[in-house]
Amino acid sequence: MIRYTMYIRKKSVLHSTDPRVKIILSLFLFTICIIFNDPLYIGSIFFSLLIFLRISGKIEIKKILSFLKPMLPFVIMIMLLWIILGSDKGNIIYQIWKLKIRDLNIKMAVAMGFRVLAMILSTFLLLITTEQRDLVLALVKMKLPYEYGLTIAIALRYVPTLASLAVSITDAQKARGLELEKGNIIEKVKKYIPILVPLIVKSIKLAQELAIAIETRAFGKPNRTFYRDLKFKFRDIMFLFAAIVFFSLCIYLRIKGYGYLNI
Amino acid sequence: MIEFEEVSFRYPGNRDHVLRDITFHVKKGEFLGISGPSGSGKSTLCLMMNGIIPKTIEGELSGEIYIDGENIKEKEVYEVSEKLGLILQNPESQLFSMTVEEELAFGPENLGIKREEIEERISWALELVGMEKFRDAFPHQLSGGEKQKIAIASLLTMKPEILVLDEPTSNLDPKSRIEIFKIVKKLNKKGMTVVVVEHETDFISSADKILILNDGKIVKYGTPREVFREADYLKHVGIRVPEIVEFSNYLLKGGYVDDIFLSVSEALEVLNVKDRESML
Amino acid sequence: MLRIENLCYEYESGFKLKNISFEVREGESIAIIGENGSGKTTLVKNLIGLLRPDSGKIFLNGEDTSKMSVAEIARTIGFVFQNPDNQIFASSVKEEVSFGPKNLGMDNIEEKVNDVLKKTDLFKYRDKHPFKLSGGEKQRLALASILVMNPKILILDEPTSGLDLKNAVKLMKIVKNLQKEGKTIILITHDMQLVSDLCERVILMKSGEIIADGKIKEVFNRESLLEKTKIELPEIAKLSKILGFGIIFDPKELYEKWRSLND
């Protein structure tokens, strides 16, 4: 089975927190990752996030790391690029031919690596502990027009449908002798046409039928009600308050010049 | 409940009409079966009943259509949908929510029903289609038959008085087909007006009336017995009559029976099977 | 021609094919029947190499297929998928049909394509866009695009499902002609009349196992088997059984029997 959602069902503080609070928290953390560039600061943010997810979300660190693993090549590439193409300040600690490796760039590379990982973690915090439907509902509650919310929900809903359709189409074409592995890059790309065309045609047909189905369910009638609802609990408000305090503190530190290396 | 008065329709840019001079009436609580070969206009007819044609899918429509006494020309699709639920062939496109519960809530939410009432309707509809256990299921993981049952339930929560099903079982296995039709018959017994469109005629043989479309026109309209008596004609236009009806038609032609029969139990009565059993 | 020995296959979901063994002789017509989820499709996917058995062997003309690619197997076993829309991608009927032979590197493609289009009554549409064909024509196109690779064994998955009487009859005629030509046919279907019309042998599956393999009427007249598989008999077969004629699927055949007894 391929997994299409990152949501892990658990009973935890983070799981039961209002998704709107989690969205705000995610945005705060995201911003914090951007404003600091000192590896010490970003590194501690990253590790605190891991521990935070473990304690308040009951998500095992091993599990989180397994989610991060596919991102590693990307992170390593960013780090290498920083080491090679970073600034020309700082001391050269090693030189091969024209390639100068400077201590400041290594520091920055570490910071950038942690920055990417911490940014990913702050989104994971939301996606691992929130069901997709609650996420969409939260966005609608945060004044996103309902039509947009519905569109996002439908898009998420049909990801597995289209994925299994793609598998069926590939099987059908393989039975007609299509061999995807053979040939050079251009030939390989061309071989995807017999898979993409039916997939697109069927998606369009699905979308047309979907539009009819939605209409038959009285969509568009004014004064819609909502079966599921979100209500702020006292704890959510406290959580939000703590997040705002933490965020303001970080901004204050940054303005005072902490956690930022001039490059 | 449903009245079509001399309805004709053609798609824009087409010279030929998809449907011509369609007139029929369905009474409250009646079960109407519609059949016809591919391209005879069955699906177009269904989409007209709630106004999707010509409001969403445009074209040139003449004649009048009344649902529950009201001309739907002046109505929005969502207004007609409160009274008439339409089930389509592909269940995948009718289930667009992330869970079954939300799917069932979607219709009543649009109608502006209160939360407590929606809650009650969801439980009621799931019980009617025998899917109580699937309340939190993800639609993608259901089988074809289960999906179609949920699609029916998602209309039932809107409490329509009429249910129209357009080839609801054409992609399903025989077992699921039977289950779907048991549900439809149950709903009809509870007083719901039902229209079923099928190119296979076995399940509509228990309808009150059958309407046969060919080439956009009504070619036969009557009770199943009246319509199925003309099995040869139906075969000629490309409609398979139920095998048991075909058998009874042979018997009728051979002079062994006075009239056709539509079911096994009827056959046993007509053929006087008790004697046969003792004979064999 | 095709020999399956102790084939086992297990999905990640836990569904298993258990110890499947049978042999298909040249020119035979076999129907594989069973409820949804009994393993028919999984079995066939193993036969054509889309899935590979966990244990057990499949021999095609004496050769072990585990070393053959899907494309190589496709030269001998053609599989016509149920939904033609899952494979139609080309801009003309003849281009669509020539896809398979091109993949297999066959020669005289044009001649082969024309020949097969005539057999499937699609020759007049050879330059037409395949998306413009009717449902019945698309089904025949799917058949043509497999047939053109000239496989000795042809597997058909629910070939008449969704077709109206005229199109179903047309397709059956084509299949009957193929039988006359000596093709080996394996049919997966729920349509018992189709089975009794085309096949002399039935393989009955339940929960990933073969529970019966024999002549169609023998299999159906074994009360215990039907109980076990929960296969719903068509009304006509129920009636013929009560009337004491055993299982008959064809109304005309039942009538003839009735007449000979009553005259």
In the structure encoding, which two tokens stand for residue C251, read together? 């109304």
Are B174 and C232 an interchain contact pair (Cβ–Cβ within 8 Å)? yes
* Shortest CA gap C76–chain A (Å): 11
Q: Which residues of C touch A176 (CB under 8 A)?
A: 74, 87, 99-100, 103, 145-146, 149
In the structure encoding, which two tokens stand for residue B58, read together? 């445009």
Chains touching B, CB cut-off 8 Å, 3+ pairs: A, C
Taking one residue from A and the other from B, the number of pairs with CB-CB distance under 8 angstroms is 108
Q: Which residues of B touch A156 (CB under 8 A)?
A: 98
Going by their DSSP bridges, the two strands C209-215 and C201-206 should be labelled as antiparallel
Alpha-carbon gap, residue C2 to C185, rounded angstroms? 12
Region class of A220: left (phi > 0), else alpha (psi between -120 and 50), else beta: left
Q: Of the candidates B173, B243, B250, which has its C-beta nearest C234's C-beta?
A: B243
Are A201 and C104 an interchain contact pair (Cβ–Cβ within 8 Å)? no
Chains touching A, CB cut-off 8 Å, 3+ pairs: B, C
Quickly tell me which residue has 């259901």 as its tokens. Answer: B142
Are A175 and C70 an interchain contact pair (Cβ–Cβ within 8 Å)? yes
Q: Which residues of C touch B254 (CB under 8 A)?
A: 255, 259
Alpha-carbon gap, residue C76 to C253, rounded angstroms? 35
Region class of A16: left (phi > 0), else alpha (psi between -120 and 50), else beta: alpha
B277–chain C Cβ distance below 8 A for any pair: yes
A169–chain C Cβ distance below 8 A for any pair: yes
pLDDT of residue A1: 38
Which residues are B26's β-sheet partners?
B2
C-interface mutation test, from B172, B228, B243, most C Cβ less than 10 A away: B243
* C82 φ, ψ (degrees, to nearest 5): -65, -40
In the structure encoding, which two tokens stand for residue A163, read together? 């994925």
Number of residues in chain B? 280
Q: What is the largest CA-CA distance in chain C?
A: 62
Going by their DSSP bridges, the two strands C29-33 and C201-206 should be labelled as parallel
Quickly tell me which residue has 């066959």 as its tokens. Answer: C106
Which amino acid appears at position A23 of this protein? Answer: I
Q: Of the candidates A156, A212, A225, which has its C-beta nearest B56's C-beta?
A: A212
Are A209 and B94 an interchain contact pair (Cβ–Cβ within 8 Å)? yes
A-interface mutation test, from B48, B77, B155, most A Cβ less than 10 A away: B77
Q: Of the candidates B174, B240, B256, which has its C-beta nearest C165's C-beta?
A: B240
A181–chain B Cβ distance below 8 A for any pair: no
Alpha-carbon gap, residue C197 to A161, rounded angstroms? 36
Chains touching C, CB cut-off 8 Å, 3+ pairs: A, B
pLDDT of residue A23: 93
* Shortest CA gap C226–chain A (Å): 31
Q: Of the candidates A172, A193, A196, which has its C-beta nearest C87's C-beta?
A: A172
Q: Of the candidates B202, B235, B276, which has its C-beta nearest C244's C-beta?
A: B276
Are C89 and A198 an interchain contact pair (Cβ–Cβ within 8 Å)? yes
- Name the residue of chain A whose CA is nearest to C146's CA: A176
* Shortest CA gap B168–chain A (Å): 13
Are B158 and A218 an interchain contact pair (Cβ–Cβ within 8 Å)? yes
- pLDDT tens per residue across span A17-67: 999 999 999 999 999 999 998 999 999 999 999 999 999 999 999 988 988
* Shortest CA gap B265–chain C (Å): 9
Low-confidence spans in chain B with pLDDT less than 50: 278-280
Q: Of the candidates B174, B246, B273, which has its C-beta nearest C251's C-beta?
A: B246
pLDDT of residue B278: 47
Closest CA to B148 of B172, B127, B164: B172
- pLDDT tens per residue across span B181-198: 999 999 999 999 999 999
B-interface mutation test, from A135, A159, A162, A216, most B Cβ less than 10 A away: A216
- The answer on pLDDT for A124 being more than 60 is yes
A48–chain C Cβ distance below 8 A for any pair: no
Question: Do the Cβ atoms of B147 and B176 come closer than 8 Å?
Answer: no
pLDDT of residue C192: 85
* A25 φ, ψ (degrees, to nearest 5): -60, -45
Angle of helix B144-156 versus helix B115-128 axis, rounded to 10: 140
Alpha-carbon gap, residue B174 to C35, rounded angstroms? 9
ipTM value: 0.91
Q: Of the candidates B110, B113, B115, which has its C-beta nearest A219's C-beta?
A: B110
Which residues 75-134 of chain A have a CB within 8 Å of chain B? Answer: 131-133
- pLDDT tens per residue across span C88-134: 999 999 999 999 999 999 999 999 999 999 999 999 999 999 999 99
Distances (CA, A) of A51 to A56, A131, A263, C144, C205: 8, 22, 31, 61, 52
Which residues 64-93 of chain B have a CB within 8 Å of chain C? Answer: none
pLDDT of residue B274: 59
* Shortest CA gap A215–chain C (Å): 25
Quickly tell me which residue has 């929005």 as its tokens. Answer: B76
How many helices (H) and strands (E) are present in chain A, helices listed first? 11, 2
- The answer on pLDDT for A223 being more than 50 is yes
Which amino acid appears at position A153 of this protein? Answer: A
- Name the residue of chain A whose CA is nearest to B158's CA: A217
- Name the residue of chain A whose CA is nearest to B115's CA: A227
A-interface mutation test, from C10, C41, C69, C86, most A Cβ less than 10 A away: C86
Which amino acid appears at position C16 of this protein? Answer: K
Q: Return averaged pLDDT per consecutive 10 residues of chain C, 263 residues in all.
A: 93 87 94 89 94 94 92 94 93 95 93 95 94 93 96 94 89 94 94 88 92 87 74 84 86 90 78
Alpha-carbon gap, residue C251 to C235, rounded angstroms? 11
Number of residues in chain C? 263
A153–chain B Cβ distance below 8 A for any pair: yes
Closest CA to B55 of B103, B88, B9: B9
A3–chain B Cβ distance below 8 A for any pair: no
State the average pLDDT over residues A201-221. 94
Q: Which residues of B touch C262 (CB under 8 A)?
A: 256
A221–chain B Cβ distance below 8 A for any pair: yes
Peptide bond before residue A194 is cis, with ω within 30 degrees of 0:
no
Are C135 and B243 an interchain contact pair (Cβ–Cβ within 8 Å)? no
Q: Of the candidates B78, B90, B99, which has its C-beta nearest A219's C-beta?
A: B78
Q: Which residues of C touch A165 (CB under 8 A)?
A: 86
Quickly tell me which residue has 């989690």 as its tokens. Answer: A22
Q: Of the candidates B56, B96, B154, which has its C-beta nearest A157's C-beta?
A: B96
Question: Do the Cβ atoms of B207 and B224 come closer than 8 Å?
Answer: yes
Which H, E and C letters describe chain B, residue by residue? CEEEEEEEEECCCCCCCCEEEEEEEECCCCEEEEECCCCCCHHHHHHHHCCHHHHCCCCEEEEEEEECCEEHHHCCHHHHHCCEEEECCCHHHHCCCCCHHHHHHHHHHHHCCCHHHHHHHHHHHHHHCCCHHHCCCCHHHCCHHHHHHHHHHHHHCCCCCEEEEECCCCCCCHHHHHHHHHHHHHHHHCCCEEEEECCCCCHHHHCCEEEEEECCEEEEEECHHHHHCCHHHHHHHCCCCCHHHHHHHHHHHCCCCCCCCCCHHHHHHHCCHHHHHHHC
